Amino acid sequence: MTKKIEAPLTDSDVEALRAGESVLVSGKLYMARDAAHKKFKDNPPFDIKGQILFYASPTPSKPGAIIGSVGPTTAGRMDAFTPALLDKGLKAMIGKGERSAEVVEAMKKNKAVYLVVPGGVAALLSKYIKQATVIAYPELGPEAVQALEVVDFPTIVAIDSEGNDIFEIGKKNYSR
Amino acid sequence: MREISTKKITETVKNLCLEAGVDLPADILDALNDALKTEESPLGREIIRQIIKNAEIAKKEKMPLCQDTGLAVVFIELGQAVRLLDGQLEEAVNEGVSQGYHKGFLRKSVAADPLIRENTGDNTPAVIHTEIVPGDKIRLQLMAKGGGAENRSASRMFKPTSTKDEIEQFILETVEKAGPNACPPLIVGVGLGGNFESSALMAKKALLRPIGRRNSGFDTCKWEKSLLDKINKLGVGPMGVGGTTTALAINIERRPCHISSLPVAVNIECHAHRFKETVI
């Protein structure tokens, strides 16, 4: 059975997740990437406690659409900013690609989880987004911070709160 | 001389941008469907299914396949018996890119300066490679290249005495390091020989070759097959979660080089290969 989570997340919500598991995320996601991180550093323009960050920036919305195509960007580019945000209560991040050892340590310390969604499936992912509101830095255009409401957004646990990493485990299991 | 208006070029480039952004090429879809049958990881298969489903939605609803709608790379083969009217070639191409990215609601992803990082607002300038060829036609090939995969590319100047094994090791290392960040399953373009810049250009051009069409040289063809096998034994898998589909293809191009050089360039492309071409 696929697990489901919804923000705000508690330590026990996060501790129940294991690297490699599929997880459906509902509720609120905060979308922010490079330029927004550079602006807010360790002081995001919303209460980050228990929340989920989604590293992404959409294509422009067509008239009448909730949002354009939207998918994950490379999470590693946000690594320098992440430990401070985890210390402030950030519980989950959604992106693609690997994370630094510092981020993994901060995730273990603060009980947080890193989820991935496939890159390049942005038309599909946009279908799970029911509402999108710019809440800060509209001047950043596609990189503005947006609050998204999602239903059953399909993710995979890449790094769990114990530091188990699907990129290492998966490669080990399938390398010949 | 055949006279062609640059307005025709603008219109054509605009349409190539619009199509490339939403319509995954048939050879990629075929390769993904084949991979679905051979991928051993259940998680990997699920990701490939999502990629195929995404392509269906994108095509039907004319939605961009990926939110990174890429830097426009345009290859032009200009027949030497063509006389261009109504303006300058590169301006016409950039105008087409600008119009296509606005009309298609494609993301504008070009920074005006590598350090100042201000967005140009219309996804120009494109990277344009022009070649003069015999004939009176113009061939236009457009690849909208995403940043995530491009960032994992690499080149190295080997010694003329370096072995094929050493080169192979470099290619495999580059693919393995590209890992989850480059959005596998990948397409790998390799340029072997030439000089510093021509090896990189060959690697990029290698990506334009349809999947399944092997290099016409017997040795290179054999090498492509054995390298693809080795890449898929790395275990990286779809989106790096582990699996037996790390690349859909590796295309190698080679050309003569200086007696003291052996340049090798590896250009990495993601599965969302946005590519369209046409002839005027």
Q: Are B266 and B203 in contact (CB under 8 A)?
A: yes
Total structural domains in chain A?
1
Distance CA B250, CA B215 (A): 10
The stretch A62-72 carries a mean pLDDT of: 96
Distance CA A38, CA B246 (A): 33
The stretch A118-134 carries a mean pLDDT of: 97
The stretch A126-153 carries a mean pLDDT of: 95
- Structure confidence at residue A141 (pLDDT): 86
Q: Tell me whether B72 touches chain A (CB under 8 Å).
A: no
Please give the ipTM for the structure prediction: 0.95
- Structure confidence at residue B3 (pLDDT): 98
Surface-to-core class of residue B83, CB atoms within 10 Å of its CB (0-12 exposed, 13-18 middle, 19+ buried): exposed
Q: Which domain holds residue A33?
A: 3-174
Tell me what percent of the residues of chain A surpass a pLDDT of 70: 100
Give the minimum alpha-carbon distance from B243 to chain A in angstroms, rounded to a whole number.
5
Q: Is B107 in Cβ contact with A68 (below 8 Å)? A: yes
pLDDT tens per residue, range A35-51: 999 999 999 999 999 99
Q: With a cut of 70, list the residues of chain B below it in pLDDT.
A: none
pLDDT at A1 over 80: no
Active centre residues of A (catalytic): 37
The stretch A101-127 carries a mean pLDDT of: 97
Q: What is the CATH number of the domain that holds A73?
A: 3.20.130.10
Give the minimum alpha-carbon distance from A166 to chain B in angstroms, rounded to a whole number.
6
pLDDT band for position A175 (50/70/90)? very high
Mean pLDDT, chain A, whole residue set: 96
Chain A residues near residue B68 by CB distance under 8 angstroms: 71, 73
- Structure confidence at residue B118 (pLDDT): 87
Q: Tell me whether A96 touches chain B (CB under 8 Å).
A: yes
Residue spans per domain, chain B:
2-22+65-145, 148-272
Q: Are A113 and A90 in contact (CB under 8 A)?
A: no
Q: Are A14 and A159 in contact (CB under 8 A)?
A: no
pLDDT band for position A87 (50/70/90)? very high
